[in-house]
Amino acid sequence: MGLVVVENTRPDWGLVGRRQLLYGASLAVLPFSAASANAPDAFDIRKFGAKGDGNTLDTSAIQKAIDTAAKAGGGTVFFPKGRFLSFSLHLKSHVTLYFGSGAVLVAADPKKHPGKYDPAEPNKFENYQDYGHSYFHNSLIWGENIEDVAILGPGWIDGEGLTNVSPNAPWSVGIGRDDLPQTDMLKARIADHAESVKKMAGLGNKAIALKNCRNITLRDITIYRGGHFGILATGVDNLTIDNLKIDTNRDGIDIDVVRNCRISNCSVNSPTDDAIVLKSSYALGEVRPTENVTITNCFVSGYAVGSMLDATYKREQLKNILPHLTSGRIKLGTESTGGYRNVAVSNCVFDCCNGLAIESVDGAVLEDVVCNNLVMRDCTAAPIFLRLGDRRRAPKGAPMAVLRRVSVSDVDCHYLDKRYCSIVSGVPGGLIEDVSFAGIRQIHPGGGSAADAAIKPPENEGAYPDPDMFGPMPAWGFYLRHVRGVTMTDIDMRCLTPDARPAVVTDDVQGLRAHGVFASAAPGAPMAPVTL
């Protein structure tokens, strides 16, 4: 057991004080007790006038507690048991928000309650990513240019009054490459975007938004119905997200141009959008990668909204045959103006959702990504999807994107949709490079026909990248196209019903090395080596 030293605390404090030193292999986690409300650096929001009755707007009282803590040099703003209704709250440096047991921060609804969310701040770079990624102040909780901040549990954030709608960027293929001002873009697209933005005035569409921050910790809280983004962190250095439960109606966790980020022990249910997604947009007006990120020991799913938290795990979404049924996946992309490097995804479970997606389409470099120990059950599209595209939603002069040095190993996947397989696809003149697959087991539903085997998937170079973007695939195991340097080792592929398609199809693949690649296209049939 290592030495644990805690400074500047008192015996009646349930929470560690502002300054703490933790040494050695062990970590002391001290619960926030009722006595903490009387600690010198604790600020109970009820003492500032918050009612917590679920009907009274508590925005001003909560904000006063945050401001008072900040003026005191830092402290803990304590949310006791109750339902605290609020519009936008502004985080401040050196302040911790602590949600006690039974505490719920409820997002107010501008249609029902007297008030509005903060307006979206100006952003002259809005053309290069969707509205939701360009703005931060129109959120329930937001912080900009702050440091040493934490939001801790075990209470809840309920985004009841948030919207999950955001306009798309006023951009189309070919427009962004010329770096045209918005007034020179297609008039119909501009008019549509302007009208959509107008409708967003006063609305909030994120539970937590962080911009240009450092040393941020989010731990133990639960987010229910988080709007377009449960968490949006852009330009954040040293970010820890640990032991969160998120059950939401769009994206769960969006990490954008972030350095040194740790996402661990989280459960994220998101049937209509991504669960955990890394992005590298141009929202800050600079080309900056998302780098040094780990995602580990997480669970992602696409059950009906709310059914993860109440443990009913409803699969209503699967009753409707959508393009890819449910989302809820782990993804690198779509915004990829700045690129990605040094990313590790490990020990994660996917259930009733899309699989793993790794995408670079906007002119940047994606490299040095390692993914291992993944289990996927009832995967509703391509279990593994690597896409190098040529969308270039980026300022003028952006080059062809690069996707290289990606390793995926020890994956066990059982999936539902017979149309898809694992896909690795670059574009003509843009090759994915140095990809390795090892220890992959895929159980496919089968059912493909000889006509399916003759399909020639479209290139769709500038299209939005998604596992269904090519339509039904001519293979049931792996489809590899425009790739240089592929290693496939110990690959086990099986069908639950007969399938007339080949297990693996290659097109413009250079330097393929395979060892121990086996497939069975019918139940009960012996495994046979695949000739590549």
pLDDT tens-digit readout, 94-153: 999 999 999 999 999 999 999 999 999 998 888 888 888 999 999 999 999 999 999 999
Residue 250 lies in a domain: no
Rounded CA-CA distance 359/293 in Å is 16
Q: What is the mean pLDDT of residues 252-266?
A: 98
pLDDT digits (tens, 9 = 90+) for 384-394: 999 999 988 88
Residue 288 lies in a domain: no
pLDDT-derived band at 3, boundaries 50, 70, 90: very low
Rounded CA-CA distance 400/66 in Å is 46
Q: What is the pLDDT of residue 275?
A: 97
Rounded CA-CA distance 65/62 in Å is 5
* Res 182 pLDDT > 60: no
The amino acid that residue 259 corresponds to is: R
Residue 161 lies in a domain: no
Residue 447 lies in a domain: yes
pLDDT digits (tens, 9 = 90+) for 465-489: 999 999 999 999 999 999 999 999 9
3-state secondary structure 81-96: CEEEEECCEECCCCEE
Give the SS3 label for residue 526.
coil
Q: What is the mean pLDDT of residues 218-222?
A: 98
* Res 323 pLDDT > 80: no
Q: What is the pLDDT of residue 29?
A: 41
Q: What is the pLDDT of residue 360?
A: 97
* Res 276 pLDDT > 70: yes
* Res 527 pLDDT > 60: yes
Peptide linkage before 154 cis (omega within 30 of 0): yes
Q: What are the tokens at 46?
A: 């009820």
Consecutive H or E run containing 197 = helix 187-200
Select the highest-mean-pLDDT range: 24-28, 187-191, 411-415: 411-415
Least confident of 172-186, 285-299, 402-416: 172-186
Least confident of 29-38, 60-69, 296-305, 494-503: 29-38
Q: What is the mean pLDDT of residues 274-289?
A: 96
Least confident of 103-112, 126-135, 210-219, 223-232: 126-135
Maximum C-alpha span of the chain: 74
| Bridge partner residues of 425 (DSSP) | 387, 481
CA angle 424–427–428, rounded 5-degree value: 135
* Res 23 pLDDT > 50: no
| Bridge partner residues of 453 (DSSP) | none
Looking at the chain, the whole-number percentage of residues with pLDDT higher than 70 is 86
Q: What is the pLDDT of residue 224?
A: 98
Rounded CA-CA distance 488/508 in Å is 16
Q: Model's pTM, two decimal places?
A: 0.90
Q: Closest Cα to residue 362, out of 339, 337, 340, 385?
A: 337
Q: What is the pLDDT of residue 4?
A: 33
Burial of 292 (0-12, 13-18, 19+ CB in 10 A): middle
Rounded CA-CA distance 475/479 in Å is 6
How many Cα atoms within 13 Å fall on the side-chain side of residue 72? 17
* Res 54 pLDDT > 50: yes
Looking at the chain, the whole-number percentage of residues with pLDDT higher than 90 is 75
* Res 67 pLDDT > 90: yes
Q: What is the pLDDT of residue 232?
A: 98
279 vs 317: which has the higher pLDDT = 279
Phi (first) and psi of residue 256, to 5 degrees? -130, 125
Q: What is the pLDDT of residue 186?
A: 55
Mean pLDDT of the chain: 88
pLDDT digits (tens, 9 = 90+) for 286-312: 999 999 999 999 999 999 999 999 999
Rounded CA-CA distance 299/297 in Å is 7
Rounded CA-CA distance 85/75 in Å is 22
248 vs 171: which has the higher pLDDT = 248
Rounded CA-CA distance 178/176 in Å is 5
Residue 456 lies in a domain: yes
Q: What is the pLDDT of residue 173?
A: 46
* Res 9 pLDDT > 60: no
Rounded CA-CA distance 134/120 in Å is 9
* Res 491 pLDDT > 80: yes
Q: What is the pLDDT of residue 395?
A: 86
pLDDT digits (tens, 9 = 90+) for 411-459: 999 998 999 999 999 999 999 999 999 999 999 999 999 999 999 999 9
Q: What is the mean pLDDT of residues 344-370?
A: 96
Residue 114 lies in a domain: no
CA angle 142–147–153, rounded 5-degree value: 60
Residue 224 lies in a domain: no
Structural domain boundaries, residue 524: 307-329+342-532
Q: What is the pLDDT of residue 87?
A: 98
Rounded CA-CA distance 96/19 in Å is 13
Residue 465 lies in a domain: yes
Domain count, the chain: 1
Q: Which residue has the tokens 């928000």?
A: 97
Q: What are the tokens at 166?
A: 């955001």
Q: What is the pLDDT of residue 38?
A: 55
- The answer to whether 302 and 271 have CB atoms below 8 angstroms apart is yes
Q: What are the tokens at 35?
A: 């006595």
- The answer to whether 90 and 71 have CB atoms below 8 angstroms apart is no
Q: What is the mean pLDDT of residues 220-233?
A: 97
